[in-house]
Structure 1
Amino acid sequence: MIFPLSIVSLFGLVCLALLASPYPYLAPGAVLGLVGVALLYRKPTWGLLGIAALVPFEGFFKDSSLSGTKFLGASLAVILMLQLAIHQIPSERLRSNIWRYLIWFMVLYLLSVINTDNMGMSMGHLRELSVGLVLFVITLLIGRELNMDLFAKMVTLSVTATCVLAMFSSKYQDQGRAAGLLEDPNAFAMLIAFAVPLALLLVVRSPHFLHRIFWVACCILLLGGMTKTESRSGLVVLFLSLMIGVWHYRAELKRIRPRHLGFAMLGLVIVIPLAIYAMPKGYIERIQSLSILSAGAKSQDQSLGRRASYIVVGSEMIRENPLLGTGPGTFPLHYATTGYAKAFSANRKIGDLYRRAHNTYLEIFSELGIPAGLLFVGMLGLGLYNLVRARRAWMQRRNREQADLLTHLSMSFLSLTLFLMFLSAPNQKYVWIMLALTSVLRLKAEESPLAEAKA
């Protein structure tokens, strides 16, 4: 009990200092902080669930140096380090096969920082990436106790809430496209694509009819939010992940009887016209533009032309610096010096000239070099393999419930990995949380004795 008493003493001193300061009204905040730290100390998984739930709401804190996720993450990091130090958490929890790639990736990353073309940009990139690394370690330490059903509920509800805001308020839209509380509609579409498989899991697992209706409504709102983002990449990624879900539940399709086909056709007759009617005209035009793959400034679709220019610039950066790249975060610096930046700039402002690659893989290969890029891809590939192995282990133990969970988590993680081809988000919090969970869930599945298999 020495550690809790020391924390109480520390907060007591803070309260006294605040009462004697020009800001005595802040003293109750120290008391609330003590309560929060005590809760996190006893239930650290609540902090991780809070971080997952707050990710879609980070836009509320974009002008603040301290957001809710940063506060929870920093508090959890300090608490878990102390619990490791006093052996309340075994150090074996840090065991993960992801480390074999991550350690060498970070070595090459730091070498690239030393060799960077712009130290300021690289240090800013390192600060952003460090948030994901901290979440990776936190998840490894407490992932075993994480209630995955509650994780799915928190993510689904938080993303659905932002979908409601984006669909019914122009304040949360970017030129008519839903962006939620984020600045980029594609980043918002990434959150939706991650949440949809988890929402479908809740529909399948709901024990009561009313609960199932509620989660079905959440699925509809998520799909409506995806439509409102007008994200073509989101539509493609969501379709691929849903096809995986259909394949997983293919055995259930045998239960469909001929008498059910009439209701299914009636549902399609109603749903398809409504979906087409509700789909924004601009979204249909953007989908049709996928057939136009011409590049350059004269492309009929400016967005596709701009993305093609990113590939041209990134490929040139890789050819010039194949081993260590040009330094983390320096892609915008190189892109701004090309004619593409001026050709695709609407108003020639600095923000329009200095553009990121909108492709995490391209950005890492060009900024960090080919070896680091291969290690990053290897990490994500190993994460998917871990989920496949975990699902197989539960299937061998005839635990269908856990196997279904792993299938839906695989769909969500696959959505993130695919979306990284259309978005620059190497520090996306869900990516690092899920990357750690893949190894945790695999170890947990493989350590489960076959004697406990369900009949």
Structure 2
Amino acid sequence: MILPLSLLSLLGLLSLGLLASPWPYLAPGAVLGLAGLLALYRKPAWGLLAIIALVPFEGVFKDSELTGAKLIGASLAVIVLLQLAVGQLSGERLRSNQWRLLLPLLALYGLSLWLSDDSGVSLGHLRMMAVGFVLFAITLLVGRELNLTLLCQAISVSVAITCALAVFSARFQELGRARGLLDDANVFAMLIAVAVPLALWALLNSRRWLLRLLWLTCLGLLLVGMTKTESRSGLVVLLISLGIAVVHYRAWFKRIRPRHLGFVMLGLALLLPAVAMVMPAKYVERIESLVLLKSGASGNKDDSLGRRTSYLVVGSRLIRDNPMLGAGPGTFPLHYATTGYANRFAPNAKASNLYRQAHNTYLELFSELGIPAGLLFCAMIALALHNLWQARGLWLAQGDQGRADLLTHLSMSMLAIGLFLMFLSAPNHKYLWIMLALSSVLRLQAEQAMTRWRTRAPSQEAAPWSS
């Protein structure tokens, strides 16, 4: 504890100096900062949990240079580096099967940055991506102490709160679409799609009826919030997640007896009209417009679908022009602005509306970084899902159904992120990089537990694995 004591002395002197300065009102802030740093030093996983919980609220201070998430993230990074330097954290914790994909991806990113069509834009993109890379390393280092129950609860509650704000206040909507505290309704829909499986897990694993009521309320807010976003991609991803949940818990449906069918019919009779009342008519029209995809960009009456088709056309052209290293990180909007599509789909004459992202992370990375880097990024998503599913199988083999269920729901959230990246340009999203690293941590923990279990019960070593 030598390092914390020295830190305590330093900040104590700072507080005394502030009291003697022309700004004595800053001294309590130094004391609070000291308490926060000491708490982070003792429990770095709390800092990571706080960053995760603050993601839905990032839009509150979007124009501020200093936010709570940035302050916690910077402090956590410094503390983790100090603990590595003094040996409190082992470098062995950085072990992950994702590095074999991430390191070549970083090398290709550097080459693409060097040969970029616009180095200034690419450097800005690098600063943005650096947040994800740092969170990846921090999660590997402190993810073992992360309480997964609190993780699920923090994401569910924080996203549900923003859903409540968006549903009941027009201030958190844009053109009638709920966006929460963020700038984009589709990004908000992705947070909801990530939170729904976790809220469902919390509901199914609560023992007290008050807690069940809390998680049922959160789940209801999340589902209503999804309809208010009017996100077609969000609906598709949500239905896929719920389908996986039905398959996973299919054994529960065997408990339904003929005498229960009346209650099932009553529930459907109440639920379907409620869904019809909550579902905005405009959302229904947006869903119906999906059939217009076959008409392409030129014949499409839906401007949103037309824009997305035009992104595919421009992105394909960039990939053909430079398939190995792409046009440079972050340069897709620059190339899109020079096409006729930019003027066609710009809502007004502002120059900023001409520079549009691809709204497809995979297309953006393939066109900006090249095909090899794009394939590596896709492989990282697939490997994260494989890690979570392998960890689930290991816990099932040990007879731990509870942890296996949790891994199933985390897999659903990771799948939601991977699917949503086809509709969003979010290669630096915090949830993405945290989940990429956490998947490795959870698989390693399951493998270590499996080794201990086999040592304690050698007679069960040949027991069949469930999947």
Alignment-derived partner of residue 370 in structure 2: 369
Correspondences of 1:83-122 after superposition (within 5 Å):
83-122=83-122
Shift of 1:210: 2.2
Shift of 1:245: 1.2
Count, aligned residues = 455
Deviations 1:18-61, CA, capped at 9 Å, x for gaps: 34544332122111111000011111111111111100001111
Matched, 1:306 2:321: no
Secondary structure of 2:48's counterpart equals helix
What amino acid does structure 1 have at the position aligned with 2:66? L
Correspondences of 1:51-450 after superposition (within 5 Å):
51-293=51-293, 294-448=295-449, 449-450=452-453
Taking the aligned partners of 2:116 and 2:279, their CA distance within structure 1 comes to 45
What amino acid does structure 1 have at the position aligned with 2:154? M
Shift of 1:13: 3.6
Percentage of identical aligned residues: 63
What amino acid does structure 2 have at the position aligned with 1:245? A
Q: For the Cα contact (< 8 Å) 1:297–1:343, is it kept in 2?
A: no
Give TM-score, length-normalised by structure 1. Answer: 0.98
Taking the aligned partners of 1:426 and 1:283, their CA distance within structure 2 comes to 27
Taking the aligned partners of 2:164 and 2:444, their CA distance within structure 1 comes to 38
Range with bigger deviation, 432-441 or 65-74: 65-74
Deviations 1:314-364, CA, capped at 9 Å, x for gaps: 000000011111111100000000000000011121221000000000000
Taking the aligned partners of 2:19 and 2:336, their CA distance within structure 1 comes to 53
Taking the aligned partners of 2:77 and 2:261, their CA distance within structure 1 comes to 54
Range with bigger deviation, 215-224 or 251-260: 251-260
Secondary structure of 1:292's counterpart equals helix
Shift of 1:179: 0.2
Range with bigger deviation, 71-80 or 17-26: 17-26
Alignment-derived partner of residue 8 in structure 1: 8
Taking the aligned partners of 1:89 and 1:44, their CA distance within structure 2 comes to 11
Q: For the Cα contact (< 8 Å) 1:297–1:344, is it kept in 2?
A: no
What amino acid does structure 2 have at the position aligned with 1:138? I
Which runs of 5 or more residues in structure 1 are unaligned? none
Deviations 1:219-277, CA, capped at 9 Å, x for gaps: 11100000000000000001111111111111222111111121111111111122012
Q: For the Cα contact (< 8 Å) 1:380–1:417, is it kept in 2?
A: yes
Shift of 1:2: 2.3
Q: For the Cα contact (< 8 Å) 1:297–1:340, is it kept in 2?
A: no
The CA RMSD measured in Å over matched residues stands at: 1.4
Secondary structure of 2:57's counterpart equals helix
Give TM-score, length-normalised by structure 2. Answer: 0.95
Which runs of 5 or more residues in structure 2 are unaligned? none
